[in-house]
Amino acid sequence: MPPRFIDASVFVHAYLRPKRDLKPHEREIKAHARDIVSRIGRGEEIVTSAVHLGEVANILEDWMRLEDARAIQLGLCARENVAILPVDRGDLLEALAVGSDTGVGTSDALAAVLMRANGIVEVYSFDKDFDRFGDLRRISR
């Protein structure tokens, strides 16, 4: 079975410290996100893209100390079990078309484009927009 794609939402939920008390379902999401990240730390193979890592970087750098955000990014980029797909103009143009057709954002559409091109059918994500793709399966645990 091919590795799963990982969406930026997993890292957002795993690493960001909220400034308010979380509701029970939000605590559950955070726990699942941390579990996924722990499995990656133990060697589970995943796939993401340079664009999605950039999205993670932007979010983490806005919410935590730059040094802490960089340490997380370096940890991801240096891991042998994390494959990072390149993105070119054609991928982005296709993602814009897919996003228009499905009503999802460009980042999620890009993930779908890359997943399909690489034979990946499962994505770790808490973003329900992935449920709009009938040929892809969102995993949130």
Q: State the average pLDDT over residues 59-88.
A: 95
Domain range list for the chain: 4-86+120-139
Instruction: Return the pLDDT at 16.
Output: 81
Q: Residue 82: which pLDDT band, with cuts at 50, 70 and 90?
A: very high
Residues 6+ apart with CB under 8 A from 121: 2, 115, 135, 136, 137
Q: Which amino acid is at 19?
A: K
Residue 93: what are its φ and ψ, rounded to 5°?
-65, -40
**Where does the pLDDT of residue 19 fall: very low under 50, low under 70, confident under 90, or very high at 90 and above?**
confident
Residue 134 DSSP code: T
What pLDDT was estimated at residue 71?
94
Which of the residue ranges 21-25, 92-96, 105-109, 128-132 would you say has the lowest mean pLDDT?
21-25
* pLDDT recorded at residue 24: 84
- Bridge partners (DSSP) of residue 139 are 124
